[in-house]
Homo-oligomer: A and B are copies of this chain.
Amino acid sequence: MEDIKALFPQFETELMNEIIANGVIKNLPAGEVLMRTGQFIKSTMLILEGNVKVFRENEDGGEFLMYYLQPGEACAISIICAAKTEASRVMAKTTEETTVLMIPLQLLDRWMLDYKSWYHFVLSTYRNRFDELLVLIDQVAFRNMDERLLSYLERHAKVHNSSIISLSHQQIADELNSSREVISRLLKKMEQRHMVILHRNAVELI
């Protein structure tokens, strides 16, 4: 409870009380799917601990990364969809053990009116996700795969707070919508330039 206050210091006390009274805390293992393409959303969630990756699935099951959700953040899509009870167009999955706070959607409309801090939180959530999509569009539209790979590794390191990226080349290729061989090739080049060290199932950023 104290952790929640620390993560969302901007929320006023009454909102905090409502959140605690109505929210359900869920503990999820890594790899748990929180939202599925085409699924209708019944509740929104705040991330308390861990990490959630939001992605689109392509035809072959590849998981094209959109962005990560971190503690103190909320899923804009779940709020948007919840507000209109519409189907989701993206997937969300935990990448590590994660704690979320589920909030029934019928509260959202009232909170928007009753709590200024909630209203501002929702708006800034929209704005931040929108910005992340803009950055993503820049990457896929303007950057080559080598640059995208480097950005990807750096972001992964930052988000997971470790310079060791524990993913196979295939997983990285999926998240960038490329192919394993291309990623292997580029990683090899980066290793020759002493930008990374390659391990099994892991890439270490220098």
Which A residues lie at the B interface, using CB under 8 A?
Answer: 56, 58, 64, 66, 76-77, 80-81, 83-84, 86, 89-90, 112-113, 119, 123-124, 126-127, 129-131, 133-134, 136-138, 140-142, 177
Chain B residue contacts of A140, Cβ below 8 A: 137, 140-141
Copy tally for this chain in the complex stands at: 2
A109: nearest residue on chain B (CB-CB)?
Answer: B119
Contact, CB under 8 Å: A137 / B137 = yes
Complexed CA–CA distance, A189 and B66 (Å) = 34
Chain B residue contacts of A137, Cβ below 8 A: 56, 66, 133, 136-137, 140
Closest Cβ–Cβ distance, residue A89 to chain B (whole Å): 6
Contact, CB under 8 Å: A134 / B56 = yes
Looking at A83, A124, A130, A136, which has the most chain B CB atoms within 10 Å of its CB? Answer: A130
Closest Cβ–Cβ distance, residue A187 to chain B (whole Å): 20
Given contacts A84-B123, A84-B124, A124-B84, contact A134 B89 (CB under 8 A): yes
The 9 closest A-B pairs by CB, nearest first: A133-B133, A140-B140, A80-B127, A140-B141, A141-B177, A126-B126, A83-B123, A89-B134, A58-B142
- 26 CB-based A-B contacts, threshold 8 Å: A56-B134, A56-B138, A58-B142, A64-B141, A66-B137, A76-B130, A77-B130, A80-B127, A80-B130, A83-B127, A84-B123, A84-B127, A86-B127, A89-B131, A112-B119, A113-B113, A126-B126, A129-B130, A130-B130, A130-B133, A133-B133, A133-B134, A137-B137, A137-B140, A140-B140, A142-B177
